[in-house]
C-alpha cells in the first residue's frame, strides 16, 4: 500500500497536513509585501522558539550549511578552536573547521558516551593566553542518541570568554535550548527536524558578541555571508531568492508549535523518549547510551543475537516503518528510533508493536510478547 510510510528516523521527520497544504500553493514574489509579512512573522516566531532576542537568520541550505555559516562568519584562518567530538556530527564540525584552515583541538569521547565537561574546563583554564577563539559542539549527537551537557560546557566557555558555537540540529524544538539565558553565540539548526517541515531551510542564531567577531573575521564567504542576511532580514526580506514554499511551510509549522507551547513540546519529546527507552528495556534490547544523557530526538538500540539491519529491513518491508541504521563503525550494529517533531504517542506504540512482531519473526525470543507495548503505554499514560 502506498502513502503509509511512517518516518521514525531523526530527519526528515513527518510533516503535518496543515504544513503540507500550506506548501501546495503557487509561489509568490519574494520582493512582495505578502512575502515580507510572512518573513516578519516567521522571524518573530523563530526568536520565540530559540528563546532569544538575537538575530535568527534563515538560509536555503541543509543543516550543514548553517554549521559552515557558523564557522566562516566569525573566525579567521589559523584561529584556534576547541571542538567536541563524540560522534558523526561532532566529527563533522572538525572537518568543516579544518576545511577552512582553523587550528582544531578536539575533545573526544567514545561514541555512545557524552562529552565530559571537565575536559573543556581543563583545556579552557590552561589557555591563559586566550588563544582559543571558539568552542564548537554538537548538542544532540544524532549518530548515537547522546545529549551533551551544553549548559555546563557553556558555563566554562563563558568563564573563558571564547565564542560558543552549537549544532542544535536535533535538539532545537525537542528540548529547551535557551539561547539568551545561556548566552549561546551561534546556534545552527535545520528544517527537516524538530521544525516539522521538509529539508531545505537552515537557521542560525547570532549573538551581539558573535556579530562583533564577524567584524574582524576574514574567512572567505559569499552565499553564506550572514551580513547580507541580517541587513535584509531587518527589511523583512532575503538577500537571494528563497524557497518560497518552504517559508509557507515554516509559517504554518511555527504557528502549530506556538499553539502547542514550548513546555508542552518539550514534555512530549521527553515522554516519548522515556517510553521508547522503557519499551526497549522491557524487550531486553540493550540501549546504546545511558538514560542520563539520552537525546530527546532519537534512541539508539544495540540488539544482541538479532541483526539490526534485518530488523530495519522487516520493519520497512512489512510495516512501512522507517528506522535509521548505524553510521560508520556502528553500521549493522545499532538501529535508531527517531521521535522528533511531528510524532504522537500512538506512533511510539505502533512502532514498538511492529518491533515486537519483527523480533518474533526473526526468531528473537528473549522477551515476553506484549512487554514492550505495555512498558511504553505505561510511561506514555503516567
Ligand X SMILES: Cc1ncc(COP(=O)(O)O)c(C=O)c1O
Contact indicator for 358, 319 with CB cutoff of 8 Å? yes
Residue nearest ligand X, Cβ-based: 63
Among the candidate windows 58-66, 108-116, 147-155, 285-293, which touches ligand X by CB under 6 A? Answer: 58-66
Enter the DSSP assignment of 39.
Answer: H
Residue 169 interacts with ligand X (CB under 6 A): yes or no: yes
Cell representation of residue 77: 584562518
Residue of 36, 51, 62, 76 that binds ligand X (CB under 6 A): 62
148 vs 358, beta carbon nearer ligand X: 148
169 vs 348, beta carbon nearer ligand X: 169
> How many alpha carbons lie under 13 Å from residue 87 in its C-beta half-sphere?
25
How far apart are CB 91 and ligand X at their closest, in Å?
A: 10
Distance CA 262, CA 175 (A): 9
Instruction: Identify each DSSP E strand in the chain by its residue range.
Output: 6-8, 55-60, 80-85, 103-108, 132-138, 140-141, 146-147, 163-167, 186-190, 201-206, 298-301, 321-325, 335-338
Q: What are phi and psi of 167, to 5 degrees?
A: -90, 110
Residue of 12, 117, 190, 372 that binds ligand X (CB under 6 A): 190
Site map (CB under 6 A) of ligand X, residues 82-111, x = contact: -------x----------------------
Residue 138 interacts with ligand X (CB under 6 A): yes or no: yes
Contacts of 249 (CB under 8 A, 6+ apart): 15, 19, 20, 22, 23, 191, 197, 198
Residue of 45, 54, 170, 358 that binds ligand X (CB under 6 A): 170
CA distances to 236, 282, 358 from 371, rounded to whole Å, are 53, 6, 14
Residue of 45, 116, 142, 245 that binds ligand X (CB under 6 A): 142
Residue of 7, 8, 11, 114 that binds ligand X (CB under 6 A): 11
96 vs 373, beta carbon nearer ligand X: 96
Distance CA 341, CA 11 (A): 9
54 vs 170, beta carbon nearer ligand X: 170
Contact residues for ligand X, defined by CB under 6 A? 10-11, 62-64, 89, 138, 140, 142, 167, 169-170, 190
Amino acid at each position: 500500500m502506498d502513502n503509509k510510510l511512517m518516518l521514525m528516523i531523526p530527519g526528515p521527520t513527518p510533516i503535518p497536513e496543515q504544513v503540507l497544504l500550506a506548501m501546495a500553493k503557487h509561489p509568490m514574489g519574494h520582493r512582495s509585501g505578502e512575502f515580507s509579512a510572512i518573513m516578519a512573522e516567521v522571524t518573530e516566531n523563530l526568536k520565540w522558539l530559540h528563546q532569544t532576542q538575537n538575530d535568527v537568520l534563515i538560509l536555503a541550505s541543509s543543516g550543514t550549511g548553517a554549521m559552515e555559516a557558523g564557522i566562516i562568519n566569525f573566525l579567521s584562518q589559523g584561529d584556534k578552536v576547541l571542538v567536541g567530538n563524540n560522534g558523526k556530527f561532532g566529527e563533522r564540525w572538525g572537518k568543516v573547521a579544518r576545511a577552512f584552515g582553523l587550528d582544531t583541538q578536539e575533545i573526544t569521547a567514545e561514541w555512545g558516551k557524552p562529552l565530559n565537561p571537565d575536559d573543556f574546563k581543563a583545556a579552557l583554564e590552561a589557555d591563559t593566553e586566550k588563544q582559543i577563539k571558539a568552542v564548537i559542539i554538537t548538542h544532540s549527537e544524532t549518530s548515537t542518541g547522546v545529549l551533551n551537557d551544553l549548559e555546563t560546557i557553556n558555563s566554562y566557555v563563558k568563564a573563558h570568554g571564547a565564542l560558543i558555537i552549537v549544532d542544535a540540529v536535533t535538539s532545537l524544538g525537542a528540548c529547551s535550548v535557551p539561547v539568551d539565558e545561556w548566552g549561546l553565540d551561534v546556534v545552527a539548526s535545520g528544517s527537516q527536524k524538530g521544525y516539522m517541515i521538509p529539508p531545505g531551510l537552515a537557521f542560525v542564531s547570532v549573538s551581539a558578541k558573535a556579530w562583533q567577531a564577524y567584524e574582524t573575521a576574514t574567512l572567505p564567504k559569499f552565499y553564506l555571508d550572514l551580513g547580507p542576511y541580517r541587513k535584509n532580514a531587518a527589511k523583512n526580506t532575503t538577500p537571494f531568492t528563497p524557497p518560497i514554499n518552504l517559508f509557507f511551510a515554516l509559517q504554518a509549522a511555527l504557528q502549530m508549535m506556538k499553539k502547542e507551547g514550548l513546555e508542552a513540546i518539550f514534555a512530549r519529546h521527553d515522554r516519548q523518549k522515556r517510553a521508547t527507552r522503557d519499551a526497549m528495556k522491557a524487550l531486553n534490547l540493550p540501549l546504546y547510551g545511558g538514560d542520563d544523557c539520552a537525546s530527546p530526538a532519537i534512541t539508539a538500540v544495540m540488539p544482541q543475537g538479532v541483526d539490526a539491519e534485518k530488523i530495519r529491513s522487516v520493519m520497512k518491508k512489512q510495516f512501512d516503518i522507517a528506522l535509521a541504521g548505524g553510521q560508520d563503525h556502528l553500521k549493522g550494529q545499532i538501529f535508531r528510533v527517531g521521535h522528533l517533531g511531528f510524532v504522537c504517542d500512538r506512533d511510539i506504540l505502533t512502532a514498538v508493536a511492529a518491533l515486537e512482531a519483527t523480533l518474533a519473526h526473526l526468531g528473537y525470543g528473549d522477551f515476553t510478547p506484549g512487554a514492550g507495548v505495555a512498558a511504553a503505554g505505561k510511561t506514555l499514560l503516567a
